[in-house]
Every structure is written in structure tokens, then in C-alpha cells.
Structure 1
């Protein structure tokens, strides 16, 4: 549990980012979403197969009592802690995608995703999706109507392949980098956006600890789904109103 001083520090960080991001007019024309942990609440499903993954790939089992602690660590540290070498990642991702495709019926979107995506579409905001998951799983979870709202897709991206995927989206979009916003829930998401020099919005409801995400200086922090729409459609919106 975070201390009172820790919570105050996080609140101060969020307000600082919010005020600085609200000082300029925002004119994002393309939002690039991560899927798992940002649009889809897939973490409980992943937790349920962790022991199976550890046994199959000779990894050190995850201590389920320390899951919250892991949310503060970057992926390479988590891999090292559990004896997962980088050469195992393609096989692990392939296995996980296959299992999710055939046995992922319990995965649902976060509350408010449908209204948020539809509102963006209704206001001519273009959307893209960059994910390590498959388009088949994304379509099943979102449903055809929401899936078809997206203009660009990059699926089956490797764990550390998001910078390259974002570059492909940038080229296909024909927009300036300042006109697009990447949105995600993990440390590797914000790192990928920084590498290709596009603004980033961190969500509070996904995997990585929000204080850790804030320490990477994202341009925006979203603590509620509706704030994404508020930012894009109301340039003068300041997040300190919602903190």
C-alpha cells in the first residue's frame, strides 16, 4: 500500500503534467491505442495462465502475492526475475495469442470504451491500434462495429517492437507527429512513443503502476475513460478538474 506522502507525490505529478498539457491548444487528429490493458481488461485472464506459462517455458513461477509489485517494474526486469530470456519471447507470445484466440471468451472491454470510441468517430477523429495481440482477438472482444471504427492496425507486434509499428502508422497516416497521440498502459508503451517522438497519454486502469508511468513524463494522464474524449474535443480542458 502506498504511503500518504507517496499518494500526495503522485497527485502532485499528475497535476503538474495536467497543467502543462492544458496550457497549449491540443489538435490531435489520430489516436493510436494499445489494446490489452488500455481498451481490454485482459490482465485477469493472463494471471490465470501464468503458472501454465512458467511450466511450459521453464520460467520461475510468478508469486501471485507480489503482482502489484511487478506493476512497478519495466518488462526486462520482470523477465530477468523469472528466468525469461529474450529468445523465448516469440514462442511465449505465439502460445498466449493462440490460447487467447481459443479460450479468451472472458476478456471484455473496460467500461466506457464503446462510448469513447464512438464519440471519437462521430467527431472525425481517426484511430489506430498497435498491439501484440491478433486482429482476430481484437475483433472478437470489441465486436465488429467498434473494430470497424479503426483506420490502421498493427497486430502481432513483438514485445519490444512497438517503435517500429508506430513508425509504420506514422508513414501510413500522412500526419505530423504532433497531430497524433499514442495511448497505453505500460512502461514499454510510453518508451516506444518517446523513441519515435510522438505525444503519449498514460491510462491509470491498466498494468503499470501510475506513479511509475508518470515518472516517464507522458504528455497526458487519463484517470477516467471520458477524459480521452474531453482532451481531444475540448482543447481548453484541464485535467486538474478531474483529479
Structure 2
């Protein structure tokens, strides 16, 4: 079945928010009772799954929703200064010109996403934005989109930079393209067996084309 819709994660996939998020989470460490991370620890965290990262941080589970809310609010104060991942703009425009519908599913706030897209002249590319997905609830949003737009799983590809993005795609039975330029390292992404793993935005258009013809079972 022909792919019609490409859905993207936002932070780390489209927007280069890595440094801003590290600075914010380190600044909030004392308030929420976890240790700030240095560069060495950060490199270790990149090789862990999303659930392993939370376990390693030893943040009390009851504090996580409040922490995420604060991080999103603080990120909103920086969003106007952030830029897309280098090469991502060209890839997005190319996919749009090829006739794909583009969407965003993110746990970030919609105001943050819209401000970023507007500031970088990307708002015209996206047909929908679903925000506020819980940390491990993106599959529910993907399934909602399938129902709302009367789409079959084979008609959708989800593009993300974390292991939880791959898992959400698999749970929703849509193809997963993992990008190696975001938070999680390519090694841990590969362990979670996405349909495709790419390392540069310049590879995205070809990866989408390959997903049109290669069945998941053949990979």
C-alpha cells in the first residue's frame, strides 16, 4: 500500500533542541531531586532506552509529570532562538513537493511547536500537529490519527530520534524511521529494530522512498 502520511517527532528530529534541553534539565536538577549530567554521563544516557534513562536518573515517578511540564515551559522561553537540524528544511520541502501529507506528534507544547515552525518559515508544510502526548503514550496518538484520517498502518511512517518513538510506531503497526542525529545513539536505536535507520537528514527522502517498496518482514 502506498505511503501517504509522514509523521514526525519534534524535539531532536526536526528542531535542534538538544543543548537547550540539557541546559534546562540540569538547571532544574536541584528542584526535582536528581543529579545534573556532565558530558560523560550524557554520552552514557544516549546509549540507553528511554525507560532505562528514567530508571538511572532515580527521579521519583510522581515528580516526572511536573518535571516535564516545567521543561516544556522553560523551553518555550528559548524556542524563538532555536533552529531546525541542519538539512532538515530541505528534506521536509522535498517530501511536501512529492505530495506527502506531513504531521507532527510530540510531547512538547503546541505553542512551542507552532512558534518554532513560524519563526523558521516551516508552518505551511504541516497538515496537523498533535501535542501533549505522554512520555510513553505516543502510540495512542498515532492510533487516533489512523482512525481520524481513515488511514491504514501501511500508509503511515513515523520518524523519530528516540527508542520510545520506534516502540510507539511498532505498537501502532506503522513503519518507523529512526534518525541518528537526535538524543539516542544509533547503536541503541538499531537494537530496537526500526524499519530504517538514517544518520543525516539528507538520507530521509531516500529512506521514505525505500519504505514504499520494502515490507517490514523483509528487513
Q: Name the TM-score, length of structure 2 as normaliser.
A: 0.89
Residue 157 of structure 2 aligns to a residue whose secondary structure is strand
Once residues 169 and 109 of structure 2 are traced to their aligned partners in structure 1, the CA distance between those partners, rounded to angstroms, is: 21
Counterpart-to-counterpart distance in 2, 1:237 and 1:162: 26
Structure possessing the higher relative contact order (Cα contacts under 8 Å, 6 or more residues apart): 1
**Contact 1:38 1:184 (8 Å CA) reproduced:** yes
- CA-based RMSD: 2.1
Instruction: Tell me if structure 2 keeps the 8 A contact 1:45–1:106.
Output: no
How far apart in 2 are the matches of 1:236 and 1:192? 20
Alpha carbons 2:157, 2:176 under 8 Å: kept: yes
Task: Give the 4+ runs in structure 1 shifted more than 6 A.
Answer: 234-238
2:148 corresponds to 1:172: yes
The structure with the larger Rg is 1
In 1, Cα distance between the equivalents of 2:38 and 2:212? 45
Query: Structure 1: which 5+ residue stretches go unaligned?
Result: 1-25, 239-243
1:42 aligned onto 2:17: yes
1:67 pairs with 2:67: no
The alignment's TM-score, normalised by the length of structure 1, stands at 0.81
Report the Cα offset of residue 233 of structure 1.
Answer: 4.7
Which 10-residue stretch deviates more, 156-165 or 52-61?
A: 52-61
| Distance in 1, Cα, partners of 2:137 & 2:95 | 27
- Tell me how far apart the structure 2 counterparts of residues 29 and 226 of structure 1 sit (CA, whole Å): 20
What is the aligned length? 213
For 1:118, the equivalent position in structure 2 comes to 93
C-alpha contact (below 8 Å) 1:185/1:203 kept by paired residues = yes
